[in-house]
A and B are shown apart, each in its own frame.
Chain A
Amino acid sequence: MMTPVTPGEFRAGDRVAVKNLPTFRARVVEERGPLGPNGEPVYLVRLRKKPEPMYIEVLGKQLRRRRPKRPATPLAPPTPG
């Protein structure tokens, strides 16, 4: 049995952007549970930044989803010559 988490819109691993910090690429690291005002779900998010990433805990409404990476296009097989 583990701490139940109120399901929110995002899951750990989701690629997101924090609305007021649009220059950072971010990823949800942990669903922290219903710890926001009126039980809103809170997320721990890692912002990609050099030299070290930055972490921030935000409400779901502060996040927007980024499009998933497109899978790499496989190389065309060499044509027999």
Chain B
Amino acid sequence: MPSSAFQVWSDTRLPVLMGAERQCEAGLAALQPENLRAYVVSLARHFQGYCRDLYTESAMVVVSKVRGSLVDVIQAQFLSGRRLDQGNPTLDTLDVDFSRFGFDLRQALRDQFDGDDTWHQRWNLMNRWRNAIAHAAREPAETLTLTTVREWRRVVERVVAALDAILYRELKRLLRRTPWQP
């Protein structure tokens, strides 16, 4: 039972990323380093967009249970200081923002990945590369290859699916009803 945010991810964001991946595979070899850099920024961008969408959708579900005269006040609070509007989609950013729904996202993700920590290391490395590329700063020591970026995309896909399942479960617990319809 996916959220609208997840549907947009599957129907629109992921096909865009797969297109970028094919461009990296098929493009001129001389251009591959630049294509890869563009792909990394696009991957981080769409992941951040998905996280913002999921946060907004979750906030709207909570707000729909609030008395009418309080709706705008609560909506303003949900948006105030949202880190996802400014910062990278790191685990820290997501943890701070989604903690407003009353659960520990870091622990919930650890539980979803069942002790495997490589997802977090890859996620971190993707963000470090994204920043280095976007700010023309010194790039991390690890070589950027299509295989590496493909691994990051797979990690992001797993995190996206995990976030959707976690928010569904936590909102259902909080509201005592299913948060979104199929």
On A, residues with C-beta under 8 Å from B are 1-4, 18, 20-21, 32-40, 42, 54-59, 62
- The reply to whether A57 and B71 form a contact with Cβ atoms under 8 Å apart is no
What would 9 A/B residue contacts be, using CB atoms closer than 8 Å? A1-B16, A3-B13, A20-B72, A32-B56, A33-B8, A35-B56, A38-B181, A56-B72, A57-B75
Q: In the complex, are the beta carbons of A20 and B4 less than 8 A apart? A: no
A58 contact from B5, B8, B72, Cβ within 8 A: B72
Check B76 against A37 for contact (C-beta < 8 Å).
no
A contact face: mostly helix, strand, loop, or mixed: mixed
- Output the nearest chain A residue to B9 by Cβ-Cβ distance: A3
- Rounded to whole angstroms, the CA-CA distance of A34 and B95 in the bound complex is 24
Q: A20-B68, A37-B60 are in contact. List 16 more A-B contacts (CB 8 A).
A: A1-B15, A3-B8, A4-B8, A4-B12, A33-B53, A35-B5, A35-B53, A35-B57, A36-B60, A38-B181, A40-B60, A42-B56, A56-B75, A57-B78, A58-B72, A59-B60
Q: How many A-B residue pairs have CB under 8 A?
A: 59
Give the most central of B11, B60, B68: most A CB within 10 Å: B60
* B residues lining the A interface (CB < 8 Å): 4-5, 8, 11-13, 15-16, 19, 49, 53, 56-57, 59-61, 64, 68-69, 71-72, 75-76, 78-79, 180-181
Contact A37 B72 (CB under 8 A): no
* Cross-interface CB contact of A35 among B4, B13, B69, cutoff 8 Å: B4
Interchain nearest-CB distance for A43 vs B (Å) = 10
Q: Which residue of A lies closest to B75 (CB)?
A: A56
CB neighbours (8 Å) of B60 from chain A are 35-37, 40, 42, 57, 59
Q: Cβ of B76: which chain A residues have Cβ within 8 Å of it?
A: 54, 56
The residue on A at minimum CB distance from B49 is A3
Q: With the chains together, A36 CA to B71 CA distance in Å?
A: 13
What CA separation (Å) do A56 and B12 show in the bound complex? 25
B168 → A minimal CB distance (Å): 14
Residues of B contacting A38 in the complex (Cβ-Cβ under 8 angstroms): 181
Complex interface: chain B residues within 8 A of A33 (CB): 4, 8, 53
CA gap between A40 and B56 in the complex, in Å:
12
Q: Within 8 Å CB of B78, what residues of A?
A: 57
Most buried by B among A35, A36, A59, A62: A35
